[in-house]
Amino acid sequence: MPPEQGPDPGPDPESVAEQVFIALADPTRRSILAALAAGGPATATDLADRLPITRQAIAKHLTLLADVGLVTAEPGERRRVRFRLRSAPMQVAQQFLAALARDWDGPLDALTGYLDRAAQRGEGR
């Protein structure tokens, strides 16, 4: 159920996470994001020098990544636009992954086993 529309509902975590997963589903965008994470802010030309992708394709993907807030554009040297990774949406996606990665089944099985063993020890006395 969607929450009631308040004055400023803010970004919905699920849609933020969805944008991250859509971005990461494409190998070219993964390599662009990985290059920005590894090397810091870069222009489309810098990235084209480092990656086996045309500058045009990189520019297209950077536009999409900026639209969904995964990178921000900022003024760089010689009036070139530099792109910087924005980690906030990644952290939202990471929190969703944490829910999927949380293992309660293993510990609860271990708890049941522990209680049963403790009861047997008690009976054996």
Partner 1 sequence: MGFPDRIERTLDVAHPPRVVWAAITTAEGLAAWFGQEAEIDLRPGGVARLAWDGGHVAELRVERVEEPSVFGFTWRVDAMPEDDPRRTYVEFTLEPTATGTRLRVVETGFAQLPDEGYRKGFESHTEGWGRELGELVAYLDAA
Residues that bind partner 1 (CB under 8 A): 10-11, 13-14, 16-18, 87-88, 91-92, 94-102, 104-105, 107-108, 110-116, 118-119
Q: By C-beta, is 58 or 90 nearer to partner 1? A: 90
What is d(CA 45, CA 42) in angstroms, rounded to the nearest whole number?
8
Q: Minimum distance from CB of 5 to partner 1 (Å)?
A: 17
To the nearest whole angstrom, how small is the minimum distance from the Cβ of residue 44 to partner 1? Answer: 20
Nearer Cβ to partner 1, position 56 or 94? 94
Q: How far apart are CA 54 and CA 59, in angstroms?
A: 9
Task: Count other Cβ atoms within 10 Å, centred on residue 13.
Answer: 13
Name the minimum Å distance from CB 87 to partner 1. 8
- Residue 35 or 85: the one with the smaller Cβ distance to partner 1 is 85
Q: How far is the CB of 98 from partner 1 (least distance, A)?
A: 5
Q: Is 96 exposed, middle or buried (0-12, 13-18, 19+ CB in 10 A)?
A: middle
Chain-centroid distance, C-alpha 21: 7
Nearer to partner 1, 25 or 118 (CB): 118
Select from 46, 43, 51 the least CA-distant residue to 80: 43
